[in-house]
Amino acid sequence: MSIQRRGPFDRLLGAGVEPEAQPSGGPDRAAIYVAGTILGLALLLLILLLPPVSVLSRGGGGSAASADSTPGTASTIKATPKRGMPKLPAGLVAASAYYAMAAPEDQRGAARITVKLNEKPSDARSLGLYTYSDGTWQRLSDVTLVTVGGDTLGRGEVPALPGNIAILRRSKAALEIAGFVPAGTVVDGRAAQALTTLQPIVYIPSADGGLTGDSPAVPPAAYRVVPCLITLVPGVVEDLLRSTELTNAHVAAIAAKIREGNYAGIAVDYRNISPALRKQFTQFATQLHDALAADGRTLTLVLPAPDLSSGEADEGAYDWEALGKVADTIELVGEQDQELYFQRTEAALKYITGRVDPSKILITVNALSVERGSDGLRPMSLASALSTAASLSVKSPGDITAGARVPLVATNLADSEGASGLHWDDAARAVTMSYTGAGGKRTLWFANAYSAAFRIELAQRYKLGGIVVDDASEAGGGADIWGVAQHAADTGSVTLAKPNAELLTPAWTTADGSLAPQTGTAVTWTAPTAAGSYTVTMIVSDGVVRAAQPVTLDVVP
């Protein structure tokens, strides 16, 4: 059902109003009507082409209409320009006027808002639709550009109409958001809006000092492209560092490749180098920085944290103080064991920030979940992590007969199966679960917006330059941490919260028979009285994303 609301210009066009009788001998009535209609339509067209704010309602009373519904004009919503705009955070500038929004209760639902921009932008990626609430600017949505009558307007969609709006543009990120993508993969569309630097892992050093790998394209995006040079065999790099001639050739090859591709710089990930080559590595980094800086390009070093386990710092091949002077950015390799992430990262930062400008340092934030077992640590996509949590079994010894009571158990979550269930881990600042699997006990930590916020806050607390995300590719299947990352980049603020514990409890549904209870890691399904195939579904969640695991149960006569 669609409802067409009365348009804002119905009165201008005289809809439903009887014209007064014309005195005889007066102007030709038809001519007046024609002229009036033309004038009214011209006025209407002018107003429609140049709206300061237009709102299309997508459902009143806070409920959104279906995605394919046609929105109607929200005629009673008023947008009033305000003279003063609340103070903007550093890095954000106004791209439109600031409007107060007013509407009846039944028109405060989801809406598509189109706002006239102060000037024509070159790209929408730096734009966002914002509202000012509780003393802070809050990002509501991304902005797309639409052209009407030669004017460029910004459009955003909101789940509920805010009290005020403005389109703001990011002039400089309050927090650097870098992200790696493996060679040959596509950037996650959600990440593209938030990234300030993209780091495709594409180059490998060769024994003669050259580079192998396909150069990535530079898309017309708001982020910088900084290819990553990584060593798979540390011995190759060590041979290059031992030879002055090969080091010179390697530096020249890197600088030439970056100039050819017109990239913003290079990220060098040469881990596991022998400590005996500490001095040579520093000389290589210094030489490379100078070669890149000659035409305004930057050097990023990806470095492992110093070993602080003995009480004294062992930096290995990496002289942090010296490298901090020549590198434009240093990305600290993250601790993969999430139970130890904060403990070891904070210890490393206390040591490093006393030797390197903190604004040069980026820490790693996971978009991929991590599982720990007897076979070590492995990253996994959010879909795989939820699939692990959603494993279930039917505890029925034989055929299921009509009216039978059938126990169903969440295999990897129930305490009867030696599992912990989904819960918040205060040490890891993440949702976690432990279960019995291959090799014994396995522990899984979920990466999501909640866990990302705590890691971003760590970067802010130590006044770091930003964060680098382990996988920003579409193929990686990482969690959607990009909203919280972009908010931090735009405003410099982040909200810390834990997911509602109820969301971490499995829920069960069925269209046939009955379930008791309907939530928990173990339930009982009472079969219908008629034979047939029936479906029971378990739903699990990390507090953000819900995943359903159905099971088909055959009831025999």
Claim to verify: residue 334 and residue 275 sit in the same structural domain: yes
Average pLDDT rounded to a whole number, residues 76-86:
84
Residue 542 lies in a domain: yes
Q: What is the pLDDT of residue 121?
A: 78
The pLDDT of 465-486, averaged and rounded, is 94
Instruction: List the single range of 29-38, 88-97, 387-396, 500-509 with lowest mean pLDDT.
Output: 29-38
Same structural domain, 41 and 56: no
> Is 235 in the same domain as 98?
no
489 band by pLDDT with thresholds 50, 70 and 90: confident
Task: Tokens for 392, please give them.
Answer: 């279930």
Residues 336 and 484 in one domain: yes
Q: 172-181, 196-205, 355-364, 416-425 — which is least confidently predicted?
A: 172-181
**Tens digits of residue pLDDT in 261-310:** 999 999 999 999 999 999 999 999 999 999 999 989 999 999 999 999 88
Which candidate, 459, 447, 454, places its Cα nearest to that of 429? 454
537 pLDDT exceeds 50? yes
Most confident range (mean pLDDT) of 25-34, 367-376, 479-488 is 367-376
What's the whole-number mean pLDDT along residues 74-102?
83
pLDDT band at 131 (very low <50, low <70, confident <90, very high): very high
398 and 528 both lie in a single domain: yes
257, 203 contact by CB (below 8 A): yes
> Does pLDDT of 550 surpass 80?
yes
> In this predicted structure, what is the pLDDT of residue 3?
24
- Where is 548: in which H helix or E strand? strand 546-556
**Position 199 pLDDT exceeds 80:** yes
Which of 11-25, 319-333, 532-546 comes out lowest in average pLDDT?
11-25
Q: What is the mean pLDDT of residues 528-549?
A: 96
For residue 360, tell me if it sits in a domain.
yes
Q: What percent of the chain has pLDDT over 70?
A: 85
**What pLDDT is attached to residue 53?**
67
Average pLDDT over residues 122-142: 82
Q: Taking residues 409-428, what's their average pLDDT?
A: 97
d(C-alpha 487, C-alpha 467), whole Å: 13
The residue-averaged pLDDT of 340-358 equals: 96
Assess if residue 496 is contained within a domain.
Answer: no
Residues 267 and 328 in one domain: yes
DSSP bridge pairs for 148: 151
Tell me which of 173 and 136 has the higher pLDDT.
Answer: 136
Domain-located, residue 44: yes
Stretch 317-325: mean pLDDT, rounded? 97
Is 433 contained in some domain? Answer: yes
Residue 333 and residue 306: Cα distance in Å, rounded?
A: 10
Contacts of 89 (CB under 8 A, 6+ apart): 137, 174, 490, 491, 492, 493
Quote the domain boundaries for residue 141.
50-170
Domain count, the chain: 4
Q: What is the pTM of this model?
A: 0.75
At residue 16, the pLDDT reads: 34
218-247 pLDDT, tens digit per residue, is 776 678 999 999 998 999 999 999 999 999
Section 523-529 average pLDDT: 96
Note whether residue 432 is domain-resident: yes
pLDDT at 209: 96
Cα 265 to Cα 255: distance, rounded to the nearest angstrom: 9
Provide the pLDDT for residue 360: 96
pLDDT at 364 over 90: yes
Using alpha carbons, list the distances in angstroms from residue 277 to 182, 235, 238: 28, 11, 7
Do residues 151 and 288 share a domain?
A: no
Domain boundary among 459, 491, 523: 491
Of the candidates 260, 378, 281, 386, which has an alpha carbon nearest to the alpha carbon of residue 326? 281
429 and 487 fall within a common domain = yes
Picking from 127, 155, 170, the residue at the C-terminal end of a domain is: 170
Residue 47 has pLDDT above 80, yes or no: no
Strand 265-269 and strand 298-303: pairing?
parallel
521: domain CATH number? 2.60.40.10
Residue reference for tokens 């439109």: 96
Q: What is the pLDDT of residue 5?
A: 31
d(CA 132, CA 341): 35
* For residues 121-134, average pLDDT: 80
Model pLDDT, residue 30: 43
CATH of the domain at 158: 2.60.40
Per-residue pLDDT averaged across 3-29, rounded? 35
Specify whether 43 is located in the same domain as 24: yes
Whether residue 378 is found in the same domain as residue 398 = no
E strands, 27-182, where? Answer: 53-57, 72-73, 78-81, 92-94, 99-102, 111-116, 127-133, 136-142, 144-148, 151-158, 164-170, 176-182
Q: Which residue has the higher pLDDT, 185 or 104?
A: 185
pLDDT of residue 60 exceeding 60 = no
Short-list 131, 80, 77, CA closest to 104: 77
- Residues 86, 210 share a domain: no
Max CA distance (Å), the chain:
108
Position 15 scores a pLDDT of 34
Residue 443 Cα to chain centre, angstroms: 25
State the chain's mean pLDDT as an integer.
85
253 exposure class (CB count in 10 Å sphere: 0-12, 13-18, 19+): middle
Across residues 377-401, what is the average pLDDT? 94
